[in-house]
Amino acid sequence: MKISITGGTGFIGGYILKELAGRGHSLRALARLTSDTAIAKSVGADIVTGDILDDKAVERLVEGAEVIVHNLHCQDVKAAEDPTDYLKANVCASFWLLEAARRAGCRQFIFTSSAAVYGETFEGWVLDERHPTFPKNLYGAYKVCVETMCNAYHHQFKMNTVCLRPVYVYGIAPDLEDSLWADLIERVVRGEDVRTTRTGNIVSVETVAEAVALLVGNEEAAGQRINLADCYVEWQSVVELSREILGLGTHMHRHASEATVMSKKARQLGVNFRGSTGVIEYVKELTSRIKTGRGAHAQVSI
């Protein structure tokens, strides 16, 4: 199918492009002049140069496309510093893209949202897609706004819109320092005594990319919101695992537990979750990359 993607030059977007290319789809990616388009070019994607606020660039992006994958989050405008510009670059731009896709006759609009839409959660409530959304920051609010518009377009215009809600995404990022836990593991490599009480639900970037690919052309998913959460992890356990890999101690082997965000819909879709095995393999690779001298600030190939 002919698929156009926003955010294709970013961390998650790069994996999505590779997954879609591997399945034989024809790809087009929106990219700013300053963006690194190496991955997009390596998979044969047609590059549309421009900004999501550029009407002409958006028109070129959606023209002839059967599917739009909206994966862009404009992070250069800081929500805390300028909420108005942040919402314009994310909420308004997303609406304009959705409308442009409708006018161009695109068959499907896939939005990578976030579990940040939940924000405040209720004790005793199952945290599945039916849980109310009460975001605690503008990032979560932006995702809720776009999800709401996707839902409205599905019902009013019969568009096949679907929203993915991944939790913390782990995976090797082009800028290694952007990889989840890179900061902690670099401190371990330096020999520091690292202590943290942080915990959270996680999912691999490969799983997110696979979920997008499984949704392409899927009519049964139309109008759906789908959680993506693999397992629940203690950050300190990751630190201990990295120490063991480096021969600096014995890992307590606290396995990742079941995610608190339910992903029944994703499992029914056929999404492959990697569980503890995926976490262990990732920590081993990340530790190795940081140890080999490139450090967490290195540029790497994904």
151 C-beta neighbours (distance < 10 Å), count: 16
pLDDT of residue 295: 52
Determine the pLDDT at residue 294: 55
Helix/strand/coil for 59: helix
Phi, psi at 167, each rounded to 5°: -85, -155
- 34 burial via Cβ count (<10 Å: 0-12, 13-18, 19+): exposed
Q: What is the pLDDT of residue 75?
A: 81
Task: Check: CB of residue 170 under 8 Å from CB of residue 230.
Answer: no
pLDDT reported for residue 251: 63
Query: Which residue in 47, 254, 70 sits closest to 145, CA to CA?
Result: 70
Give the Cβ contact number of residue 152 at 10 Å.
13
Backbone angles phi, psi at 202, to 5 degrees: -135, 160
From the list 272, 273, 270, 277, the residue with the least C-alpha distance to 255 is: 277
Do 288 and 240 meet the contact criterion of CB atoms below 8 Å apart? Answer: no
| Other Cβ atoms within 10 Å of 83 Cβ, number | 13
CB 25 within 8 A of CB 108: no
Q: What are the structural domains, with CATH classification, of the chain? A: 2-167+204-228 (3.40.50.720), 169-203+229-294 (3.90.25)
pLDDT given at position 3: 98
φ/ψ of residue 27, rounded to 5:
-120, 150
Backbone angles phi, psi at 143, to 5 degrees: -65, -40
Give the pLDDT confidence score for residue 127 in this predicted structure: 97
Q: What is the pLDDT along the chain (302 residues), one digit of tens a residue?
A: 999 999 999 999 999 999 999 999 999 999 999 999 999 999 999 999 999 999 999 999 999 999 999 999 988 777 778 899 999 999 999 999 999 999 999 999 999 999 999 999 998 899 999 999 999 999 999 999 999 999 999 999 999 999 999 999 999 999 999 999 999 999 999 999 999 999 999 999 999 999 999 999 999 999 999 999 999 999 999 999 999 999 987 666 666 899 999 999 999 999 999 999 999 999 999 999 999 865 555 555 66
In what order do the strands lie in the sheet containing 231-234? 168-170, 199-204, 231-234, 257-258
The pTM of this model reads: 0.94
**Which of 185, 227, 229 shows the shortest CA–CA distance to 204?**
229
Instruction: Find, among 218, 207, 189, the residue nearest to 287 by Cα.
Output: 189
CB 240, CB 252: distance < 8 Å:
yes
Q: Is 44 left (phi over 0), alpha (psi -120 to 50) or beta?
A: left
